[in-house]
Amino acid sequence: MNSRPPSVTRLLKNPPERAPALPAQAAPALRVLIESKGGSGLRTATHLKALDALDGQKRTYLHLDSDHGDRYTTTLPDGTVIALQPEEMCLFGWDDARSQLHRHPALAKRYQVLLRGNPVSQTYKRGAAQCRPMGLLQYELSLSAIFEAKKARLNMLYPPVESRGVGLSELMASREVQRQMEQPMLNVHIASAVGGQGSAIAIHDAYATRWLCEQRGIRNVTHIGVLLGPNAFQRRERNIELNYAAMMRELEAVYRDGFTLSLPSGETVAFAKPPFDELYLLDLVEWPRGEDPDRRLSDTAMDAWLRQVALTIHAYTQRVLHDRLESLLLNLANQSDESLTFGVLNAAMVFADLAALNDVIALDKAGAMLEALLARCSPEQGG
């Protein structure tokens, strides 16, 4: 079956605040932390992990989900079965998270309003079940466990060294820790833009990782958001359109007003900056050949598309390819229509309210590219 490559819309790119680059001769290794959320995030991350055998890139994975029964594997051509391991997954939440609200008065006040009208049967023992408030509630009730899982993944990329004195060996160890902290990292968050779990926590979770990196002194890091949909998920679940609209409104809000979250420890995560240094929306722009456009995408076609998504992320997180792809993405606005496709990356066609985005976001060259692409397409074509 011929599958269409994902369209890649660079929604936003913000000048990242990072430490000065190391001298060229140091050739630091690029670390990559892949954080996936929800069912489609898990499938994409699993396909991405299967591509790790193609290179020596140092990646580590963390999947977050309130659905304890969701598992996924993919198989290599030689028969090797690939799956995220238990230590690479943080499964959280309760069968009925609402029953926990009496222990958290601050959360109860908000979620009793957000969950009004949603019967317990829709979410009981079903994770978020396409209900975004439930997905976020499960996340907030589990922040302590989630933070510990994140710290463990960061420790794999930047191993901590305990100082036990002030001798030469301790000073050398301290310098090695500092050198490690200066080496660059890509932090990639993968989530659907339409689901009850992934879209609900993508913004909160990106800020959580940004905060933990600052706490650890990891500053040479680029936080990348990869959102999937909405067109690829049409007619697969309920609330697709509502969840997507809510996700877009929340993005506008944090890009305009910043973000604040009180932690169970009493600390506060607060940022005036956006959650992502780069934000992409990956979606289908044409229904795959052989698929009925009036019905939902088949499981086979969906899996083929998610493999393409994984290959896109794999290519973009390669150090030898990242700068080249970055250059191509930034310069597409000056190219002809025929040059908009390269490798597995297909140029952007997302129909957004650019006037509203411009009110809250300072768009750079990437924004100009998006505006130029939108101008080429009639609104009737988009989803």
Give pLDDT, residue 59: 86
- Supply the range of the domain harboring residue 331: 7-92+142-381
Angle at 369 between CA 315 and CA 354, to 5 degrees: 120
359 versus 5: which is more confidently predicted? Answer: 5
**DSSP-H helix ranges across the chain:** 38-50, 105-114, 132-141, 143-157, 168-182, 198-216, 240-257, 299-316, 319-331, 354-360, 365-376
- Which of 56, 54, 49, 53 is CA-nearest to residue 34? 49
Which residues is 271 bridged to in the sheet? 259
- Examine the pLDDT at 290 and tell me if it is beyond 70: yes
| Token pair recorded at residue 207 | 């800020």
Q: Is residue 244 part of a domain?
A: yes
Q: Is residue 75 part of a domain?
A: yes
Buried b (16+ CB within 10 A) or exposed e, 37-54: bbbbbbbbbbbbbbbbee
Q: Is residue 300 part of a domain?
A: yes
Q: Is residue 136 part of a domain?
A: no
Percent of the chain scoring above 90 in pLDDT: 25
- Which of 84-98, 134-148, 159-173, 306-320 is predicted least confidently? 159-173
Q: pLDDT for 346-379, tens place per residue?
A: 323 232 333 433 333 333 334 444 454 445 443 4
Give the confidence band of 27 by pLDDT, cuts at 50, 70, 90. Answer: very low
Q: How many domains is the chain built from? A: 1
Q: Is residue 287 part of a domain?
A: yes
- Look over the chain and give the mean of its residue pLDDT values, rounded to a whole number: 75
Question: How far apart are alpha carbons 310 and 346 in whole angstroms?
Answer: 14
Task: Indicate the pairing of strand 89-91 with strand 341-342.
Answer: unpaired
Over residues 68-91, mean pLDDT: 88
- Examine the pLDDT at 244 and tell me if it is beyond 60: yes
* Cα distances (angstroms) measured from residue 99 to each of 73, 104, 141, 197: 33, 10, 11, 19
Q: pLDDT for 96-151, tens place per residue?
A: 788 788 888 878 888 877 877 777 776 776 777 788 888 899 999 999 999 999 99
- Which of 201-210, 224-233, 264-273, 334-343 is predicted least confidently? 334-343
Q: Is residue 58 part of a domain?
A: yes
**Three-state DSSP class for residue 326:** helix
Q: Is residue 32 part of a domain?
A: yes
- Examine the pLDDT at 64 and tell me if it is beyond 70: yes
Percent of the chain scoring above 70 in pLDDT: 67
Q: Is residue 231 part of a domain?
A: yes
Contact 248, 227 (CB under 8 A): no
